[in-house]
């Protein structure tokens, strides 16, 4: 058993999608019910903090009702007098670069018992006026610690949150969602840097959370596991909804990956039908254990396939027989859902009596009707199950297998025609690609193309009806104001030159303030020249692209079970935290922080500290801003960060030094024993 005074207890979950189908009379509360169960478990098990892997909200602009319910739950379960026994060692102004720049459990204006740390996902990412996310509202209200937001997508630097509990030290890395193609290219270009503590870097447990495609849907729209640095111990992978929470080791990089999956089903697919879990991660020094907990409140979900041509006794002309067979099949699936729900309740010790209501299950029957069979209206068919299932409108999904004759016809189609009808190509074709292609053919005089593309994307993907209107009216107002102040003539050519100048300045400002977006810079070169440049860039990327890593599955660690993974390194010297008065929150005193932990001016790194690291031109890095002084009279401790580059200029000062993370980079000569 791990010593509790040295053990971090972290509840991990991801993809809660609060507000999903909030107007549905049956499923509208599902996301909040599951989230409340997660918070109840966190309070019952007395965890140190909750770590969320993105997509806390389903909508980019959650409704007022959704925000109210979310804030009410966080206030009810995460506020209180329970002391937070963690010491915060890193620079808070770097980890939380917002107006207040402080972790909520050290804010004297709040009484936080269970801190919540979260990155953003692709559903609740920053956008719109001010480039704010819904998590910014929770952060400024002191309910959530929002971190992992990249300042620039072309030059990403990930600075860890450094925590200490007893003898255990935790480095928490986070990277909010960035468009997969863009992030993939940034990794390929070796422009993703991860900072590490300069002193005693091997005593830290390195935990990273990200929200990206893990499964390859194309050449570049996913992030291979091999892109992540090998010094990591555990990676919490968000975005993928299938529950694969048991830690799996990546044999190439030698770190573990856990994929908790979503807490609510947002699509009727095979991955969502798996039993959903969350976990409590126990970290002591360089060891970790994982306790799995099934979510009891999740609505039962059964999915099955049926091929009508393979059913004995069914004829294509017997439509009544087909309907009767499907009716019996769905009735049987409802029975299976009830049995699985009762079994789940029994395993968790929940009593079931005559007053216990069985939740309406999600049922999906995929019907393959090739071979002369005809489909029918699935919504009309589902009306007979309105009182039995939660999704009567889409209970049946018809699909047809492509026949050999169809394949022969397609073989006669030209490659150009084929490229336009392949479903996979259509699925991955984005609206911004259409707008970019249109704008490449003609230049706009006033409206910045990059902002226009982003406005159209927000209009389509985020369902923001005012995005285009606000962009056009705002652009015209800014241009009029600029011309009124700067133009010295009313000549048309002079006005066009001034408008182009103002447009260029706006583009530069927009790229700086919206660096987390995948902004597109329009190239107005001739089409032939542009296509040649694009071809060269694609061939270069393909040469550098590495194959996905094969991994093996480890033994699952269930509640009270064996350790999922163990790593051994020298333990840090014992430092017993002390409680302050009032809320009994733990803050470090000056005597408890060693000289190695204090932030001092970094001297140029010696060339023999680290070997085999990809060289890179040195850059001057400013020192982090000082964290705000706490009212308790304590001093915020800061840590020196280890440099992983060996080409610093003489006399260069750097508080943080980075390890370049990309496929094909050199590896350190100091490897840890991972057991």
Residue 632, pLDDT score: 39
Convert the pLDDT of each residue in 231-249 to its tens digit: 999 999 999 999 999 999 9
Residue 514, pLDDT score: 60
78 within some domain: yes
589 within some domain: no
Q: What is the number of other CB atoms lying within 10 angstroms of the CB of residue 459?
A: 17
Residue 323, pLDDT score: 95
Rounded to whole angstroms, the Cα distance separating 391 from 333 reads 13
Token representation of residue 177: 């969602």
Residue 325: pLDDT over 50? yes
Residue 669, pLDDT score: 34
Segment 9-29 mean pLDDT: 98
End-to-end distance of the chain based on CA atoms, in angstroms?
Answer: 18
Residue pointed to by tokens 């860039």: 537
Which among 17, 58, 120, 123 is annotated as catalytic? 123
Q: DSSP assignment, residue 189?
A: T
Radius of gyration from C-alpha coordinates of the chain: 28
Convert the pLDDT of each residue in 179-219 to its tens digit: 999 999 999 999 999 999 887 788 999 999 999 999 998 89
128 with 55, same domain: the answer is yes
What SS3 string covers 38-74? HHHHHHHCCCCEEEECCCCECCCCCCHHHHHHHHHHH
Residue 581: band (very low, low, confident or very high) from pLDDT cuts 50, 70, 90: very low
Neighbour-count burial for 303-324, b at 16+ CB within 10 Å, e otherwise: beeeebeeeeebeeeeeeebee
268 with 305, same domain: the answer is no
Please provide the average confidence, as pLDDT, over all residues in the chain: 78
| Segment among 347-356, 606-615, 632-641 with least mean pLDDT | 606-615
Residue 540: pLDDT over 60? no
Residue 373: band (very low, low, confident or very high) from pLDDT cuts 50, 70, 90: very high
The alpha carbon torsion through 587, 593, 596, 599 (nearest 10 deg) reads 50
Segments of 85-140 assigned E as strands: 87-88, 116-118
Residue 148: band (very low, low, confident or very high) from pLDDT cuts 50, 70, 90: very high
- Whether the CA torsion 98, 100, 104, 110 is positive or negative: it is negative
Q: Where a domain ends, among 493, 510, 527? A: 510
340 with 217, same domain: the answer is no
Of 594 and 49, more confident: 49
323 with 252, same domain: the answer is no
Q: DSSP assignment, residue 546?
A: P
DSSP string, 255-324: EEEEE---SS--S-STGGGSPPEEEEEEEETTEEEEEEEE-TTSPPEEEEEEEGGGSTT--TT-HHHHHH
Residue 474: band (very low, low, confident or very high) from pLDDT cuts 50, 70, 90: confident
Which structural domain range is residue 205 located in? 7-294
324 with 284, same domain: the answer is no
Residue 673, pLDDT score: 42
Alpha helix (H) ranges present in 445-568?
449-461, 467-486, 492-513, 527-544
Q: DSSP assignment, residue 127?
A: B
Neighbour-count burial for 151-178, b at 16+ CB within 10 Å, e otherwise: eebeebbbbbbbbbbbbbbbbbbbbbbb
Residue 486: band (very low, low, confident or very high) from pLDDT cuts 50, 70, 90: confident
Could you tell me which residues come within 8 angstroms of residue 131 by beta carbon, excluding any fewer than 6 positions away?
Answer: 513, 514, 516, 517
Q: Where a domain ends, among 510, 543, 561? A: 510
Q: Where a domain ends, among 252, 268, 294? A: 294
Express as a percent the part of the chain with pLDDT over 90: 53
Token representation of residue 210: 């990200």
Residue 546: pLDDT over 60? no
210 with 125, same domain: the answer is yes
Catalytic-residue membership of 123: yes
Residue 562, pLDDT score: 40
Convert the pLDDT of each residue in 433-459 to its tens digit: 777 777 777 777 778 877 788 788 777
Of 509 and 5, more confident: 5
Residue 471, pLDDT score: 81
Q: DSSP assignment, residue 4?
A: G
363 with 488, same domain: the answer is no
289 with 310, same domain: the answer is no
Is residue 185 a contact partner of residue 227, using CB atoms and an 8 Å limit? no
Q: DSSP assignment, residue 358?
A: P
Express as a percent the part of the chain with pLDDT over 70: 70
Which burial class, exposed, middle or buried, applies to 604 when counting CB atoms under 10 A from its CB (0-12, 13-18, 19+)? Answer: middle
Residue 630, pLDDT score: 40
Residue 450, pLDDT score: 78
Q: DSSP assignment, residue 673?
A: -
Of 625 and 140, more confident: 140
485 within some domain: yes
Convert the pLDDT of each residue in 265-316 to its tens digit: 999 999 999 999 999 999 999 999 999 999 999 999 999 999 999 999 999 9
Residue 523: pLDDT over 90? no
431 with 490, same domain: the answer is yes
Residue 50: pLDDT over 90? yes
Give which of 304, 303, 311, 411 is closest to 371, Cα–Cα. 311
Residue 550, pLDDT score: 36
Alpha carbon distances (Å) from 430 to 5, 219, 333, 417, 457: 51, 16, 37, 19, 9
Segment 461-483 mean pLDDT: 79
* Per-range mean pLDDT, top range of 10-24, 393-407, 443-457, 638-652: 10-24
639 within some domain: no
Segment 390-409 mean pLDDT: 77
Give which of 247, 116, 234, 168 is closest to 7, Cα–Cα. 168
114 with 258, same domain: the answer is yes
252 with 384, same domain: the answer is no
Residue 481: band (very low, low, confident or very high) from pLDDT cuts 50, 70, 90: confident
319 within some domain: yes
**CATH no. for residue 124?**
3.60.21.10
Of 307 and 513, more confident: 307
675 within some domain: no
* Per-range mean pLDDT, top range of 389-403, 491-505, 522-536: 389-403
* Number of domains observed in the structure of the chain: 3
545 within some domain: no
Residue 84, pLDDT score: 95
Q: What is the number of other CB atoms lying within 10 angstroms of the CB of residue 362?
A: 24
254 within some domain: yes
Residue 647: pLDDT over 80? no
| Segment among 38-42, 393-397, 399-403, 639-643 with least mean pLDDT | 639-643
**CATH no. for residue 317?**
3.30.110.110
326 with 182, same domain: the answer is no
Residue 571: band (very low, low, confident or very high) from pLDDT cuts 50, 70, 90: very low
Of 674 and 461, more confident: 461
Residue 653: pLDDT over 80? no
Alpha helix (H) ranges present in 348-430?
378-382, 404-411, 415-419, 423-427
């Amino acid at each position: 058993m791990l010593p509790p005074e040295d053990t971090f207890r972290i509840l991990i979950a991801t993809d809660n999608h609060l507000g999903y189908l909030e107007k549905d009379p049956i499923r509208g509360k599902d996301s909040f019910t599951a989230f409340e169960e997660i918070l109840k478990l966190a309070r019952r098990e007395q965890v140190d903090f909750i770590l969320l892997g993105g997509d806390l909200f389903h909508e980019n602009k959650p409704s007022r009702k959704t925000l109210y319910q979310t804030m009410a739950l966080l206030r009810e379960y995460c506020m209180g007098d329970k002391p937070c026994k963690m010491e915060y060692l890193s620079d808070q102004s770097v980890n939380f670069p917002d107006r207040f720049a402080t972790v909520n459990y050290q804010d004297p204006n709040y009484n936080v018992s269970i801190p919540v740390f979260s990155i953003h996902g692709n559903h609740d990412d920053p956008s719109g006026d001010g480039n704010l996310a819904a998590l910014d509202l929770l952060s400024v209200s002191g309910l959530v610690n929002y971190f992992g937001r990249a300042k620039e997508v072309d030059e990403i630097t990930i600075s860890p949150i450094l925590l200490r509990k007893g003898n255990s030290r935790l480095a928490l890395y986070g990277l909010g969602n960035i468009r997969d193609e863009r992030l993939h290219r940034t990794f390929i270009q070796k422009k993703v840097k991860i900072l590490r503590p300069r002193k005693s870097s091997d005593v830290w447990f390195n935990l990273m959370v990200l929200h990206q495609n893990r499964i390859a849907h194309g050449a570049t729209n996913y992030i291979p596991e091999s892109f992540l640095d090998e010094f990591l111990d555990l990676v919490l992978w968000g975005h993928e909804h299938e529950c694969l929470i048991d830690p799996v080791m990546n044999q190439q990089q030698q770190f573990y990956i856990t994929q908790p999956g979503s807490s609510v089903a947002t699509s009727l697919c095979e991955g969502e039908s798996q039993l959903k879990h969350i976990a409590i991660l126990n970290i002591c020094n360089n060891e970790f254990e994982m306790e799995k907990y099934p979510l009891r409140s999740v609505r039962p979900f059964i999915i099955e396939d049926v091929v009508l041509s393979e059913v004995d006794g069914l004829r294509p002309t017997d439509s009544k027989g087909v309907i009767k067979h499907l009716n019996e099949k769905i009735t049987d699936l409802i029975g299976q859902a009830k049995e699985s729900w009762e079994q789940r309740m029994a395993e968790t010790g929940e009593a079931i009596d005559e007053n216990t209501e069985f939740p309406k299950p999600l049922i999906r029957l995929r019907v393959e009707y090739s071979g002369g069979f005809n489909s029918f209206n699935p919504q009309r068919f589902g009306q007979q199950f309105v009182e039995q299932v939660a999704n009567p409108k889409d209970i049946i999904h018809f699909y047809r297998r492509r026949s050999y004759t169809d394949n022969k016809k397609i073989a006669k189609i030209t490659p150009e025609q084929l490229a336009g009808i392949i479903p996979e190509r259509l699925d991955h074709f984005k609206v911004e690609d259409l707008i970019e292609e249109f704008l490449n053919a003609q230049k706009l005089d006033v409206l910045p193309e990059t902002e226009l593309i982003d406005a159209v994307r927000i209009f389509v993907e985020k369902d923001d009806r005012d995005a285009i209107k606000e962009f056009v009216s705002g652009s015209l107002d800014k241009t009029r104001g600029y011309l009124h102040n700067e133009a010295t003539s009313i000549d048309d050519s002079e006005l066009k030159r001034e408008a182009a100048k103002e447009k260029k300045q706006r583009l530069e400002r927009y790229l700086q303030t919206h660096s987390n977006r995948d902004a597109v810079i329009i190239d107005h070169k001739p089409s032939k020249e542009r296509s040649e440049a694009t071809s060269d860039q694609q061939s270069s990327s393909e040469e550098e692209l590495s194959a996905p890593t094969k991994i093996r599955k480890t033994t699952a660690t269930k509640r009270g079970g064996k350790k999922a993974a163990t790593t051994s390194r020298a333990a840090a010297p014992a430092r017993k935290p002390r409680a302050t008065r009032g809320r009994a929150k733990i803050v470090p005193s000056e005597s408890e922080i060693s000289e190695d932990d204090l932030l001092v001016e970094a001297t140029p790194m010696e060339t023999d500290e680290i070997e085999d690291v990809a060289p890179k031109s040195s850059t001057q890095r400013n020192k982090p801003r000082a964290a705000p002084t706490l009212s308790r009279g304590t001093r915020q401790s800061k840590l020196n960060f280890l440099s992983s580059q060996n080409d610093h200029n003489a006399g260069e000062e750097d508080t943080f030094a980075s390890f370049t993370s990309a496929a094909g980079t050199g590896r350190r000569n100091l490897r840890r024993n991972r057991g």
